[in-house]
Structure 1
Amino acid sequence: MPIVGAIAGGVIAAAGVMLSSGEALEALVSETGIAALIPMAAPPLGATARAILALGAGALVAAILWSSLYLLFGPGGVFAGARPREDGVPVIRRADAHPDAPPRKPMSAADLGTPLMEVGVAGAADGAARDERAIPADLDLPLAAYDPKAMRPVPMEPARPVAPLAQPTMVAPVIEMSPTAEPDTFVTAPVPKPVGPPLVETSQPVEEVSAPTPIARPLRAQAEPTTPPTIETLLQRLEQGALRRGRIGSH
């Protein structure tokens, strides 16, 4: 459409220049200043000058009309309508187009395949429908007898147990002691004798100092027999030690 309009406008402008009178054309050339720019177009105008002016006017009008019509009715123009594409992809404006996300064809119901309500029983399209069976006399039959493909006549192997991931905690073994076992004997070390400070002889008179009353030490027990002590002997020894500590602590 822009090309047709431009050609029509150029032809009309050229015809108007060719058909106009010489006086009117010379007056137009003088007023527009074309004669000052192009000396050959100065009046009086001959046939060659008239033809050149007609071609120039036609080309100028055609260029102006083509530019205007292309901006109005060309692709992406103000009055340009969206042309439906054959592949179904919508046509968008150049300002809305993106190079990384081109427009896509919208999804239709035909892309989803056969509608769900129109899907028949498997095998019915080939004419091989399932045969109806009568109820068997013996109902104590495995389910595989009714539909061998649905269930197996022999059950599958059970899954092997999986070992636990957590390691069991190690527990120390418990050793049982017999109640009749006697404790091992132990030999106590002899009590060391008290060591006093060494005596030093001096010529100075020694003042008499009243010494504290010494604590009577209990007599040492007799040597124990080599036989292992009994529980009663150990208890007596424990009581004697407790009494001895109590006496020393009271002083």
Structure 2
Amino acid sequence: MFELTNEVLIALVTLTAMEIVLGIDNIIFIAILVGRLPVEQQPKIRNLGIGLALVIRILLLFSISWIMTLKEPLFAVFGQNFSGRDLILLGGGLFLIAKSTFEIHHKVEGDPEHALPEDAKSKKKVGAGAMLAQILVLDIVFSLDSVITAVGMVSQVGVMVVAMVISMVVMLLSAGKISAFVEKHPTVKILALSFLILIGVMLVAESMGQHVSKGYIYFAMAFSLLVESLNIRYRSKHPVKNS
């Protein structure tokens, strides 16, 4: 597939680390989505969603020439050119913003399920098929970003495939723990959804030709998570007493 030289090994490790970082967004959103399914269905749908992400990434990798054509302008609006990639990023960004905003509203406002009869509750259950469809949309958006990053960093397709497989294995092994952590700490869930809105805005901006360095986004995420981890640690030692 490829000769494992020092240069290739460094590229593999670097790309794998980058793919894991990019995959965290995917895991968080999948974790939040499947959290609305019955508990017994969550691991299956979560792993299936991550598996779909790997398949999409590899298919896109072997369609590199097609991906490159996505950068060709299709039409212009008020002097702004839009390519196929721009349209995918725009659609994905708007979907992220809308879905994350809806999930935040659902989390903050809640549903008065205790006041509903059992048959009404069952109607409010989210179907696994509908959930997989939403996960698939997000997988396509995140996979496109992931593959374009890989193509920009490494020239050997074999290295890209190995890096993505390793990153997906890491995602599969950590997805359960991340999901449990997000569900256990509601404030982390709100924070994660806020990050996804930020990422959605970034995708919309990129679709409009405005490049936003991901370094700023990840620094803001890391700093916010650090503050939230301190809050969680504080609350664990000083639990809030109900009056």
TM-score normalized by the length of structure 2: 0.17
Greater Cα radius of gyration, structure 1 or 2: 1
Relative contact order, higher structure (CA 8 A, sep 6+): 2
TM-score normalized by the length of structure 1: 0.16
